[in-house]
Amino acid sequence: MGHASRDSNPTLDPVLNKFEDLGLSGPLLQGLEQAGYETPTPIQAQSIPEILDGNDVLGAAQTGTGKTAAFALPILQIMWEDDQERREPSNRRGGRPGRRPIRTLVLSPTRELSAQIEANFRIYGKKTRLRSTVIFGGVNQNPQVRELQSGVDTLVATPGRLLDLVSQGFVDLKDVEILVLDEADHMLDMGFLPDVKRILKLLPRDRQNLLFSATMPGPIRKLADEILVDPITIQIAPQKPTVERIEQSICFVAQADKPRLLNHFIETKATGSTLVFTRTKHGADAVARRLVKAGVKAAAIHGNKTQANRVRTLNKFKNDELDVLVATDVAARGIDIDGIQTVINYDTPNTPEAYVHRIGRTGRAGREGETVMFCGGHETKFFIAIEREIKLQIPVATGLPGCQPRPLQDPGSGDKSNSRSGGRSGGGGRSRSSSDHQGGSGSGGSKPGGGRRRGRAAGSVSGRGSTVGRKSAGGEASKSGGGSKNGRGRGGRPSSR
């Protein structure tokens, strides 16, 4: 199927620059107001109307763009409207009278991110009486089972724990109407794709599918092609990390000299709470051990730690009982701490997106922030890709032990070192530029039936008509009007339902 595409635009349609213009109900608007939300981010302004129309959506967006609200708000709106149509719980489809069936399933790769997503569902839907819960591994399943048995509208889950509880008969997915795959690329990185495909086979074919991913590697594109029906593709440009309050620098250093450099930087340059990123779990543990041995209050957090250990470590870091937190990229996703003042990339991130995500952990809430990247010879290619993507030359740190003025030669190649200009003594330069907006397949791999498709009544936001062109069978782009895809009106259900 062809994909209709839409790219983000810093200048939003003036008709859609308020949440009330997006077709959200009073209870949701009240929840947003209490949570301090004022205006929609680009991905929210573009995704919410499409999801309300019942379209499948492929969203290319990073953490920090507001994508959780972009899918949670319209999902809550859809379920709230359905509840208005059948107010009595005994009239609900599926399950015994009075028990809520799971209507929305959100899959996410990590425990922290899953918990954060579910918390947002509760915040936004506070006034709707809709229920949600989250399930993930590493903790006792009994409290999660009790929540499920009481009935929930939205289930947020990591793939492994979901399959575990399904196999025990505690989760029934036969009534799922909306599926969300969040951070799909990280589910791929963590090896969850086979589990995701098993879950898809447990879902009704007739459903709406939403897939969000910061990057679109081949396997994710293939998955999208398998499960999305005539989707709208919404692309939000990566937020540029060069915000005014973040001072960035890079240190070209031999891998063997990184431990000494890290100790020196933390002792003499780092201020306040410090977050150190490593590429691997083993590396995180090794770095944390060396820091503790040097007298630094530090600890590591990664996927091999138990949930209780991770929560305990995070709380210590938030309460200033730890000076340094060492983390992998995946473990850090879902962590929301405003007071981080220094971010150290002990290992150069291997993608520009990871760099943006890492350094965006500092300089929040109007505070100053500092980041430094340690780049070994074998990591030069990653550093070059980062500078190319952010379109900025990161200043070189000087006056630090082992720090060289230019990239080191990759020991595994015959390339010559690249020349670089020097930077500020003992640290980096402040890099400034304006940032972008923040903010089942059935067995055999066949596509689902396309899910519910909703149209909007005249006078609602949908009355403006879609600005997204779709490819017709003849190959020409056609404008969709106020009606919904497949001719289904809003609130109407597919005949198979």
Which tens digits make up the pLDDT trace of 176-194? Answer: 999 999 999 888 878 899 9
Lowest mean pLDDT among 94-103, 295-304, 405-414, 426-435: 426-435
CB atoms within 10 A of CB 294: 13
Q: Which is more confidently placed, 229 or 425?
A: 229
Q: Over 60: is that where the pLDDT of 434 sits? A: no
Taking each helix axis from N to C end, the angle separating 142-150 and 159-167, rounded to the nearest 10 degrees, works out to: 70
Provide the pLDDT confidence category of residue 201 given band limits of 50, 70 and 90.
Answer: very high
Q: Over 50: is that where the pLDDT of 166 sits? A: yes
What average pLDDT score do residues 426-431 get? Answer: 41
Q: Which amino acid is at 3?
A: H
Pairing of strands 469-471, 477-479: antiparallel
Q: SS3 for 5? A: strand
**pLDDT of res. 372:** 95
Distance (Å) of CA 193 to CA 1, 155, 197, 305: 22, 19, 6, 22
**pLDDT of res. 240:** 53
**pLDDT of res. 483:** 40
What percentage of the chain carries pLDDT values higher than 70? 72
* Domain ranges (residues) in the chain: 4-239+438-487, 246-430
Q: Give, rounded to a whole angstrom, the gap between the first and last alpha carbons of the chain.
A: 24
Lowest mean pLDDT among 95-99, 157-161, 173-177, 368-372: 95-99
**pLDDT of res. 69:** 93
Q: Over 60: is that where the pLDDT of 426 sits? A: no
Q: Over 50: is that where the pLDDT of 47 sits? A: yes
343 contacts 359 by C-beta, under 8 angstroms: yes
Provide the pLDDT confidence category of residue 307 given band limits of 50, 70 and 90.
Answer: confident
Tell me the C-alpha distance between 96 and 493, whole Å.
21
Q: Over 50: is that where the pLDDT of 482 sits? A: no
Lowest mean pLDDT among 57-71, 255-269, 397-411, 481-495: 481-495
**pLDDT of res. 100:** 87
Lowest mean pLDDT among 24-38, 104-118, 146-160: 24-38
What tokens were used for 140? 């006792």
Q: Over 90: is that where the pLDDT of 339 sits? A: no
Provide the pLDDT confidence category of residue 322 given band limits of 50, 70 and 90.
Answer: very high
Which CATH code, of 3.40.50.300, 3.40.50.720, 2.40.10.220, 1.20.1250.20, is assigned to 246-430? 3.40.50.300
Q: Is there a common fold for 4-239+438-487 and 246-430?
A: yes
Lowest mean pLDDT among 39-48, 183-192, 287-296, 374-383: 183-192
Provide the sign of the torsion angle of the four alpha carbons 135, 137, 138, 139, taken in this order: positive
Specify burial of residue 92 (Cβ count, 10 A radius: 0-12, 13-18, 19+): buried
Tell me the C-alpha distance between 491 and 342, whole Å.
49
**pLDDT of res. 358:** 86
**pLDDT of res. 448:** 58
Lowest mean pLDDT among 64-78, 86-100, 291-305: 86-100
- DSSP-assigned states of every residue in 268-295: HT--SEEEEEESSHHHHHHHHHHHHHTT
Best-predicted range by mean pLDDT (19-23, 98-102, 146-150, 317-321): 146-150
**pLDDT of res. 13:** 45
Provide the pLDDT confidence category of residue 85 given band limits of 50, 70 and 90.
Answer: confident
Lowest mean pLDDT among 43-57, 268-282, 427-441: 427-441
**pLDDT of res. 450:** 54
**H/E element, 262:** helix 258-268
* Residue-averaged pLDDT of the chain: 78
SS (HEC) of 232-254: EEEECCCCCCCCCCEEEEEEECC
Helix, strand, coil % over all residues of the chain, rounded to 5: 35, 15, 50
**H/E element, 179:** strand 178-181
**Closest among 220, 204, 210, 215 to 69, alpha carbons compared:** 210
**Closest among 406, 408, 379 to 394, alpha carbons compared:** 406
Query: Looking at domain 4-239+438-487, does it have CATH number 3.40.50.300?
Result: yes
Q: SS3 for 31? A: helix
Tell me the C-alpha distance between 447 and 200, whole Å.
10
Q: SS3 for 105? A: strand
**pLDDT of res. 270:** 82
Provide the pLDDT confidence category of residue 473 given band limits of 50, 70 and 90.
Answer: very low
Tens digits of residue pLDDT in 263-297: 999 999 887 889 999 999 999 999 999 999 999 99
**Closest among 261, 242, 497 to 360, alpha carbons compared:** 242
Tens digits of residue pLDDT in 397-415: 988 988 998 888 766 555 4
